[in-house]
Amino acid sequence: MRAIFTIAWKDLKALLTNPLFYVIGGMCTVLWSYTYMRSLLEFAERSRMFAQPGMDSGPNIQNTVIMAHISLTNLLFIFVLPALTMRLLAEEKRMRTYDLLLTSPITATQIAVGKFFAGWGAAVALAGISLLYPLATRLVVSYPMGPLFSAYLGMILVAGAYVAVGLFASALTESIMLSVVLGLIFNILLWFISQGAGEGHFYTPVVEYLSLGQHFVGFIMGAVKLNSTVFLLSLITLFVFLTQRVVESSRWR
C-alpha cells in the first residue's frame, strides 16, 4: 500500500508540476471558454424566443449547454490524456530510472497501480477545471445538480479508462512519441468500436456494449447504471493488469 502511494504521489507531483500539464490545461481552457460561452449565449437567445406567451417550455440548459460541454471535454480527453500518460513508464525506461523501480522491493502490481493512480489524479484535476464552467453557470441560473454529478462521475470513470489505456501504451515502448500514438489509437478504437456493430447480427449487442460511448451517454443523461460502472471499472482493471504483465515480463524477458 505504501509503495503504491509513494509511486502515485511522486508521479502525480511530476505530472502536475510539468510544463506539459500547464500547456494542456491552458489550451483546453481556451477551447472550453470559447465554446461554452458561445453555447451559453445561443441558449439565452433561444430561451428568449421561447419566453413568448403561448410557446412550450423552452430548451433545457442541461441538455444543450452542459451536455455539449461534457461531450467536448470527453473528445479532448481522448487526445490529451495519452499525452499526459505517455511519460509514466516510457520515460522511466528512457531515463534508465526503470532500473530503480525494478530493483526496489516492490511488485509489478504496485508499480502499475501506483502509476495508474498518478495518471488518474492528473486527469481528475483536468476534469476539475472543466467542472468550473457548469458550476459558475449556477451563479446565475439554477438547474438540478444531480445529472451534472452523474455526468462527471461518468467522465471520471471514462477518463480512468483512457489513463489505463495510455499507461498500457506507455509500458509497451521506450519511445514517448509511439506511446502517445498507441494510446490515441487504443482510445479511438474503444470509442468507435460500436461503428462496426452493424444491425441485427448476433454480435451487434456485444460490440455495442463494448463501446465507451454507449456507457458514457447513460451517465450524461443522469443515469448511474450499475452495468456501465462495472464495465468501466473492469476496463480500467484489465488495462492496469495488462500493464502489470508487461512490467513483470521485463524480469524474465
Residues that bind another protein (CB under 8 A): 2-3, 6-7, 10, 14, 17-18, 95-107, 250-253
Task: Decide whether 202 or 252 has the Cβ nearer to another protein.
Answer: 252
For residues 250 and 244, what is the distance between their CA atoms, to the nearest angstrom? 10
Nearest distance, CB of residue 11 and another protein, angstroms: 10
CA 191 to chain CA centroid, Å, is: 12
227 vs 250, beta carbon nearer another protein: 250
| Alpha carbon distance 140, 153 (integer Å) | 24
CB of 121 to another protein, least distance (A): 16
> By C-alpha distance, which of 117, 85, 71 is closest to 216?
71
CB of 122 to another protein, least distance (A): 14
Q: Which amino acid is at 104?
A: S
Cβ nearer to another protein, comparing 107 with 229? 107
Q: How far is the CB of 77 from another protein (least distance, A)?
A: 24
Judged by CB, which is closer to another protein: 105, or 200?
A: 105
The DSSP-derived string for 136-199 is HHTTTS---SHHHHHHHHHHHHHHHHHHHHHHHHHHH-S-HHHHHHHHHHHHHHHHHGGGGG-S
Rounded least distance, CB 24 to another protein, Å: 17
CB nearer another protein, residue 87 or residue 215: 87
